[in-house]
Amino acid sequence: MGKIENLGRRAFLATASATAGGMSLSWSFPADAAAAGVEVGIWAVIHPDDTVVIRIARSEMGQGTLTGLAQLVAEELDCKWSKVKTEYIAPEINFAKNRAWGDMSTGGSRGIRTSVPYVQKGGAAAKAMLIAAAAAKWNVPVAECSSADSVITHKPSGRRLRYGEVAEAASKLPVPADPALKPQAEWKIAGKGVKRLDTVEKLSGRLVYAIDVKLPDMLNAAIAQCPVFGGKLKSFNADKIKAMPGVRHVLRVDDVSVAVVADKWYQAKTALAAMPIEWDEGPNAKVSSASIAAFLKEGLDAPQAGVGHKYGDAAGAIAGAAKKVEAVYATPFLNHATLEPQNCTAKVSDDGVEIWVGSQNGDASLAAAAEAGGVKLSQVKVHKHHLGGGFGRRGQQDYVRQAVLIAKQVPGKPIKLIWSREEDMEHGYYRPITQAKMSAGLDAQGNVTGLHMRISGQSILAYLLPSRMENGVDPVQFQGLIPSEFGYLAIPNLLVDHAMRNTHVPVGFWRGVNVNQNAVYLECFIDELAHAAGKDPLAFRRQLMAKNPKQLAVLNAACAKAGYDKPLPKGVFRGICQYTGFGSYTASVAEVSVSAKGELKIHRIVAATDCGIAVNPDQIAAQVEGSFAYGLSAALYSECTIENGRVVQSNFDSYEVARMADMPKVETVIVASGGFWGGVGEPTIAVAAPAVLNAIFAATGKRVRSLPLKHHDLKKA
């Protein structure tokens, strides 16, 4: 992630080919990493007491990726789960070994699903090596040996050896290139709801996040960046604050930011707030939410737009329809609002650069540190930590670059840079703002004859990764709307297009990316069409989803669990939706009530998901619940508005999120149809808002077509 095309080292990492799990490689980690254990393959370190340390390349930010990956390795390894521990692979070692552990990027709900082939092989290869070592010690055929719970048994004689007893010999054997994998029906660890491996450390407070790092002689830094995107740092008066308690340095970081370095972070923050700073706000100082909205509105009827999905003649079908239905929807900029603000500790010395960071992409952090430090990739050491929230924000490396630039000016001293909550809110990579004009035709029987979905708004790839644009079109914009994902292929004529309207506001991958907005537009409009046709919303969808059996099965499962055919309590109303994204199929049913005063109460959500193969059903349920907390925050309260070129919301008093009282009961239905690996962390966010909005219409007769809900009067029409 990041502007890779402008960073030679990042471009190198992004295009470097990863070996398929590195199964043909073997080497030693530093002594402190392996301790008394030995490497058996590259994914497992086995100790004499049978403790198995499983290496993790992806990042853990709350979704349980670490535990799920460990389950997959442990399953194939046949080790005792109670003896399993984990450790992060250092990005610099992954780089030095030609990325033997594969891609470190953790986003797009890919943490488990794209790691599966090589982590499973890693576990299976280690098991084969252990069995071979035991067979050699007994001088018996490998075929006569079996493994279970970290013990190898010679079946004819009943002799047994623990993994810890043969690990040393196994580590010297060749690593099998293509070991056999277990059938899913034989799984004992994977596919089960085992407890997460990081919970005890979190509950006890022993888990050290990057913001908790403490090092000898460490100093602390606070940073201020130009509040207007595109502006620059003009000047600052360091003399006014140099004598303040704890202040050591006042530094220009780059063209847009200044930092204060002090003994304690609060001293740095206090001094920075007191220092006179003059900004050159540049050409965007007059931009507002109103001007951006007007800009996007122009795109709804613009003659040119990039096509994401088209078949038939949607325009002709709509023009000739017995009834035409049209609606315009809008969603705002959103901040990631991670609980842990952006931070990184950096030390620059003659030997190179060392950083301590919570990152969604260890490779990118390595590259950013090397670039900022002006050193080779081999001169950077990265200490990866768990993330106190990522949601896509920590894929960008701006805070890493800044920390190194500051530390470079104070050589030999570790400098911990922490963004204030205000900096974090006002300098994000926001979820793009978009509008959508939905148009459809119905025949005399209420059947859809054609649908046109025109999206107008900002492109993530145009801002972050223009090299990945396809003939001027951002393919990410059409998440959930492309042929393999669009749920309503029975519609005879379709056009989905995007009028790109890029603003000066930086945008990025916000959890769920574009499925969230697209699902609101499509699923609420499908509900509008059902109402216009005088049909039940579920029956209407079933007709349109006749060519999409997997999507329909998930929708049916959610409705069955919710008791769709049963009456609700008086005053409670129901809304439904379905959507596909990140390789998974999802659906939800919301039950809400709206008081005479317009007060919304979300009583219950039933959420169904088909991610193909379920590694840990309990984790899936937890992720579905968490995704609704995040998605309902966006639906109910959250937004970023622009005045005078800058973000207005600066803390949680103005950037509101859902609270405990807002959270409904969430019931999860896992429809694991098998045969594929889908994502879990992001897909169900898409079906949070539409189901609630459709239920609000059922309760009030009012259509809500813009978010957040806090701006709408929900009293009955």
The 10s digit of each residue's pLDDT in 199-251 is 999 999 999 999 999 999 999 999 999 999 999 999 999 999 999 999 999 99
The 10s digit of each residue's pLDDT in 275-288 is 999 999 999 999 99
Percent of the chain surpassing pLDDT 90: 95
Could you tell me if residue 329 is inside a domain?
A: yes
Q: Are residues 128 and 269 in the same domain?
A: no
Q: Are residues 460 and 408 in the same domain?
A: no
Residue 15 has pLDDT above 90, yes or no: no
Mean pLDDT of 169-183: 97
The 10s digit of each residue's pLDDT in 469-523 is 999 999 999 999 999 999 999 999 999 999 999 999 999 999 999 999 999 999 9
Picking from 145, 162, 195, the residue at the C-terminal end of a domain is 195
Domain ranges, residue 266: 210-282+342-418
Distance, CA of 585 to CA of 600 (rounded, Å) = 28
Q: Are residues 128 and 248 in the same domain?
A: no
Q: Are residues 122 and 85 in the same domain?
A: yes
Q: Are residues 575 and 651 in the same domain?
A: yes
Instruction: For residue 107, give the DSSP letter.
Output: -
Could you tell me if residue 520 is inside a domain?
A: yes
pLDDT at 21: 33
Residue 678 has pLDDT above 90, yes or no: yes
Among 184, 186, 114, smallest CA distance to 147 is for 186
Could you tell me if residue 148 is inside a domain?
A: yes
Q: Are residues 220 and 94 in the same domain?
A: no
- Element of type H or E holding 323: strand 323-331
The 10s digit of each residue's pLDDT in 238-271 is 999 999 999 999 999 999 999 999 999 999 999 9
Could you tell me if residue 424 is inside a domain?
A: no
Overall domain count for the chain? 3
Picking from 390, 418, 446, the residue at the C-terminal end of a domain is 418
Q: Are residues 95 and 238 in the same domain?
A: no
Could you tell me if residue 205 is inside a domain?
A: no
Q: Are residues 489 and 593 in the same domain?
A: yes
Residue 9 has pLDDT above 50, yes or no: no
Mean pLDDT of 565-582: 98
Question: What percent of the residues of the chain are helix, what percent strand, and what percent coil, each to the nearest 5?
Answer: 35, 25, 40
Q: Are residues 308 and 230 in the same domain?
A: no
pLDDT at 717: 77
At which residue do the structure tokens 């596909």 appear? 580
Picking from 362, 393, 418, the residue at the C-terminal end of a domain is 418
Q: Are residues 226 and 114 in the same domain?
A: no
Could you tell me if residue 201 is inside a domain?
A: no
State the Rg of the chain over Cα: 27
Could you tell me if residue 200 is inside a domain?
A: no
User: Is residue 387 a contact partner of residue 340, using CB atoms and an 8 Å limit?
Assistant: yes
Evaluate the CA torsion angle 531, 537, 543, 544 in order and state its sign.
Answer: positive
pTM: 0.93
The 10s digit of each residue's pLDDT in 543-561 is 999 999 999 999 999 999 9
Could you tell me if residue 536 is inside a domain?
A: yes
The 10s digit of each residue's pLDDT in 72-101 is 999 999 999 999 999 999 999 999 999 999
CATH number where 677 lies: 3.30.365.10
- Entry field: residues in the chain: 717
Q: How confident is the model at residue 32 (pLDDT cuts 50, 70, 90)?
A: very low
Residue 31 has pLDDT above 90, yes or no: no
Q: Are residues 60 and 19 in the same domain?
A: yes
The CA distances from residue 141 to 152, 267, 287, 385, 648, in Å, are 13, 69, 75, 44, 71
Return the beta strands (E) in 79-150 as ranges.
84-88, 145-148
Q: Are residues 444 and 504 in the same domain?
A: yes
